[in-house]
Copies of this chain bind each other. A is one copy, B any other.
Amino acid sequence: MNRTVSPDAPNSLPRRRMLTGSASALAAAGLAGWSSGALAQTAAAAAPKPLPAYVDWKNAKALIVHSNNTMETKRSAYGTSVITPSDQLYVRNNLPPPNPSILDDRDAWTVAIEGVKNPRTLTVGELKGMGLETTAMVLQCSGNGRGYFPSKPSGTLWTVGAAGCVVWSGVPVRAVVEALGGVAAGNPYMTGTGGEVLPEGLDPKSIMVERSVPTAAMEDALLAWELNGEPIPLAHGGPLRLIVPGFTGVNSVKYIKRLAFTPKESDAKIMASSYRLTPPGEKAGPDKPSIQDMSVKSWINSPLPEDGTLKAGKALIEGIAFGGITAVKSVEVSIDGGKNWKPARFIGPDLGKYAWRQFVAEVELPAGTHTLASRATDVKGLIQPEARVENVRGYNNTSWSDHAITVTVA
């Protein structure tokens, strides 16, 4: 096994379709300039792309650059230290990030709190005096695992790398709400609106980032200013991000400008028809389930096919497992494509119900070709399924079969 991300290691992941859904949408909207990287790469899809300037502090060796706004962590780069370092964390922005000057005075950033008894606009500086909590959690893009859908849905064809386990610090939303008199009656939704600058001449609803989750999700939600011990970088939503643990990344709204408790879900396109679990052949819309809470999932990070031919004998299978909206309880591994399973062992610190756990299992690998798989179970007894739930946009792929890998042993 070789965990080292070598500077000379070829990008051994399969080539992917490079014109992403969001790039297409922007092009259609006359905004191609916003994603020039994404469009330019259609001409040279094979070459590894450099990091865009706003994330030039990231570890290029650990990332696959799909476009200016979409980068995933290489499966070989995850390591075994629980936390995903920020410089290896995936990036997925629905819109280009705001001007970096919004970080010049982080404490001056404002967020309007609405739908509470005493609505107010608060600065980050004020929020910092209202409470503090720190939460470790899996941040995962709704489309993580989309690359395993044979239908190759539109959108970035992520494999496992649009996920990380990170630590956020900020004020609990419930503390802010309490300070403002509580949620006003008749508001079952918590709606966050991003602070991206929207182009003129377009219907804002068609492009803005505005997501609604059940108001109950505020119990564990944060208005966060810190990621993994540092002020939140622009790429990840700094100076202030709504964090909704247990929910897919899109629900944790970046550059949050407005947090409103509302009687209805947002009617912005990103809420009304995007991020919906739409069965094949049907049309997305508010009647379809919204992509919100995550469910139990795991995958193997070592060994990997790119490690080359393994030596027969004892081998350690290592990976990560998480429960999503609930805690993970256990994980099993298989070396025969899921015919037989044996328990794996969790290692390292338990960072709480929303974090992932690392696992290791010792197996005997005889010479031959083997399909290695992992299958997690959450504390409610839900078992990671063998099959994905087919849907038009390729969301929520938790299939253990899709995440299995084949290795050769001599």
Contact = CB atoms under 8 A, between A and B. Distances in A.
A81 interface: yes
A226 B3 contact: yes
A191 B293 CA distance: 50
Interface string A42-73: 00000000000000000100100000000000
Interface stretch (A18-26, A125-133, A141-149): A125-133
A207 interface: no
Contacts of A169: 79-81, 348
Contact of A81 (B107, B128, B228): B228
A309 to B, nearest CB: 14
Nearest to A346: B134
A181 interface: no
A98 interface: no
A65 to B, nearest CB: 18
Contacts of A287: none
Interface residues of A, number: 52
Interface of A: 1-5, 59, 62, 78-88, 106-107, 125, 128-129, 131-136, 167-169, 225-231, 314-316, 318, 347-352, 355, 358, 360
Given A88-B230, A358-B134, A81 B3 contact: no
A182 to B, nearest CB: 19
A218 to B, nearest CB: 18
Given A79-B231, A82-B167, A83-B229, 8 more contacts: A2-B107, A62-B230, A80-B134, A81-B230, A83-B167, A85-B86, A88-B229, A134-B348
A315 B129 CA distance: 6
A125 B2 contact: yes
A291 to B, nearest CB: 26
5 contacts: A3-B231, A79-B169, A80-B132, A84-B229, A136-B348
A348 B228 CA distance: 12
A351 B355 CA distance: 12
A107 to B, nearest CB: 6
Contact of A230 (B59, B128, B227): B59
Contact of A85 (B78, B136, B230): B230
Contact of A349 (B59, B87, B318, B352): B352
A349 B136 contact: yes
Nearest to A134: B348
Contact of A226 (B80, B135, B360): B80
A81 B315 contact: no
A106 B4 contact: yes
A160 to B, nearest CB: 15
A300 to B, nearest CB: 13
A261 B131 CA distance: 49
